[in-house]
Amino acid sequence: MTTVVEIVKFTTHADVSDEQVLASCEKVDAFLAAQPGFLYRSLAKDNGRAWVDIAYWENMSLAQKASSDFMDSEAGKEMIALIDMDTCDMNHLETRNILVGYDG
């Protein structure tokens, strides 16, 4: 089975707090959970303002459809307002190897 990983790297605007991003992520999570083909998501942050948002999808067409729909959604608009879009880099990649080892 080939899944798709969506990787979005971004930096927030200087006046945006981690709490604002995490509050917005609750709405993003609800949006994603309702999308066909969504598998799971994780969000990571460095010590500054840079974030990496990773989502797994069943296939490329469902990942791309959800991305397009996200841009027009309320959750998407709220999250996008927090991001310095000049720093945003998004890719959809087909997985070649998956190892699941976390049990907790």
If we measure between CA atoms, which residue out of 29, 42, 96, 92 comes closest to residue 62? 92
Q: Record the pTM.
A: 0.90
Banded pLDDT at 2 (limits 50, 70, 90): confident
What is the reported pLDDT for 104? 60
Listing from the earlier edge strand, what are the strands of the sheet with 38-45?
Answer: 38-45, 50-57, 4-12, 83-94
